[in-house]
Amino acid sequence: MAGHFALGNSNSLATIDVAGAFIGISSHSTVLSGILMFMITYASPMLFILSMVMYISVKETSYLPSPFSADSTQLLKIMLGFPCLVPLGLNSILLTAYTIILLLMRNHLFVWSVFSPKYIYVCTTTVCVYVGVSVVSTTVTYTYLVLGFRRKMQGELSHEQ
């Protein structure tokens, strides 16, 4: 989160950089401006989470001699299990902690002006992580199915010859 604050963002909704969302747009577009504002606000967390997932998956698969010689269930577990479970676990713990704190301090005077914007950031980050993990798991499952199909086709070709 250091990158989030280093780019000028804070836990307040009033500090969201709205001007950056309209740079380079020739006409008004609410959807495009919203996407740009989202990307400006969440650039560093998205970069961190995507880099972490890619690092974990590349690091784990570098130990395998070849995808064709590995056990298919082990390959699926390495490619899908750890890279998806770490971001989900970290964000779920963070969201649970903020929810408990928000519930415990719901009668406090400043809870809705101080904790609520941070809670909105955490909820949005968690939704983004869930979407990202869904994309990663779909991609890995597709890759696993393609590798299985290619392995099956290679086996059939070697039996015919």
What distance separates the 2 farthest-apart alpha carbons in the chain?
78
pLDDT digits (tens, 9 = 90+) for 109-157: 877 777 788 888 888 888 888 888 888 888 878 887 887 788 788 877 6
Coil, helix or strand at residue 18: coil
**In 10 A of CB 132, how many CB atoms?**
17
Q: How far, in whole angstroms, is CA 146 from its chain's centroid? A: 24
Q: Is the pTM of this model over 0.85?
A: no
pLDDT digits (tens, 9 = 90+) for 83-119: 778 888 888 998 999 899 888 888 888 777 777 888 8
